[in-house]
Amino acid sequence: MFTTNQLIAHLFGDYLIQSSWMARHKATDFRVALAHGMFYGIPFLLLRPSLAAWLVIVITHALIDRGRLARYVVWAKERLLSPPWHRVPPLAACPTGYDPAQPEWLNTWLFILTDNILHLLINGAALRWL
């Protein structure tokens, strides 16, 4: 389900092609998120996906980044998997989904990893089944 080429396309599209302007504004402006999603999808064309798979990759990428979906996934995971004695702060207090009492650098990197995993899982499924 997952290939090296898919990973390279993801990294190229999400990091090399994305401008700092896109990175700053994609979570607040859907047009920017969609532009980023379109540019993100360019390297995947080299993998010769079906049109449906390519559209899923582009549109879900824009939606995940615009809605910061990884934040909600992380916060839900923290609520479900933390021991009963650990109080998870409310979502409004967790910009990355992680407890803000942790170091900001750690929360940021864990958020980025979660976001990348979500993209890779969806991309892999789209490329395999569409």
pTM of the model: 0.93
Please state, for a pLDDT cut of 90, what percent of the chain lies above it.
95
Say yes or no to pLDDT of 118 above 90: yes
Predicted local confidence at residue 121, as pLDDT? 96
Predicted local confidence at residue 1, as pLDDT? 60
In this prediction, residues 38-49 reach a mean pLDDT of 97
Q: What is the pLDDT of residues 81-111, one digit of tens each?
A: 999 898 999 999 999 999 999 999 999 999 9
In this prediction, residues 48-72 reach a mean pLDDT of 97
Among 10-14, 26-30, 85-89, which is the least confidently predicted range? 85-89
Query: H-type helices in 12-103, by residue range?
Result: 20-25, 30-41, 51-67, 69-81
Q: How many domains does the chain have?
A: 1
In this prediction, residues 15-44 reach a mean pLDDT of 97
The domain of 25 spans: 4-129
